[in-house]
Structure 1
Amino acid sequence: MNIYVGNLSYRMDDKALEEVFSKFGEVKSAKVIMDRETGRSKGFGFIEMVDSSAGSEAIEALNGNECEGRTLRVNEARPREERPRRQF
């Protein structure tokens, strides 16, 4: 199950994000999205859980809860929309 996590602390990295979700089950991958220009976190990331029921449990438990002073937005990730590439 793929999970979107928004409103993350800018100090949070992949490892810290994985630790938050590992309490609910096995984490396949954890990725905090970084800005290519500055190298800083964009404040959101994605988690891939091995077990869907563990993923659902994590969403229920963490959505709306506070982590490092910020209220998390956690839900099932939607497939990425195809956007036309920008022409320069």
Structure 2
Amino acid sequence: MSIYVGNLSYEVTQEDISEVFAEYGTVKRVQLPTDRETGRVRGFAFVEMEAESQEAAAIDALDGAEWMGRNLKVNKAKPREDRGGGRGGDRRGGNGGGKFSSRRY
């Protein structure tokens, strides 16, 4: 499992995040996504720690805490949703294009 860390300063580095979370246990990995076009930090990160108990301690201590001028949002990361092939929604129209319709026989 990993931890979602939101509302980060755009000046933050992976080292900054590792340092803060290391107070609660062993940090295995920090992922700090950047904007594809600008290369700028996107304002959130994911942190993986060695044990769930360490993750829980970090979440309890850091959620809502003020750091680098911002109040952090820290919680368990949700699994990434499958975005599919780029065509959203059901394009068959009407009742979903299923075998049956609302028409009576």
- The normalised TM-score by structure 2 is 0.79
1:85 aligns with 2:69: no
1:74 aligns with 2:86: no
Moved segments of 4+, more than 3 Å: none
Cα RMSD, aligned residues only: 1.0
What CA distance in whole angstroms lies between the structure 2 residues aligned with 1:38 and 1:12? 16
Cα distance, 1:85 vs. partner?
3.2
1:11 aligns with 2:11: yes
- Structure 1 portions without partners, runs of 5+: none
- Structure 2 portions without partners, runs of 5+: 88-105
What CA distance in whole angstroms lies between the structure 2 residues aligned with 1:2 and 1:29? 9
Residue matched to 1:27: 27
- The normalised TM-score by structure 1 is 0.94
Aligned residue pair count? 87
Partner-residue secondary structure (3-state), 1:85? coil
Sequence identity (%):
49
If each structure's strand is expressed as a fraction of its own residues, which one has the higher value? 1
What CA distance in whole angstroms lies between the structure 2 residues aligned with 1:30 and 1:83? 23
Q: Which has the larger radius of gyration?
A: 2
Residue matched to 1:51: 51
What CA distance in whole angstroms lies between the structure 2 residues aligned with 1:85 and 1:42? 24
Partner-residue secondary structure (3-state), 1:42? coil
Residue matched to 1:64: 64
Residue matched to 2:95: none
Cα distance, 1:86 vs. partner?
2.6
Q: Contact between 1:17 and 1:32, CA under 8 Å: does it hold in 2?
A: no
Cα distance, 1:84 vs. partner?
1.9
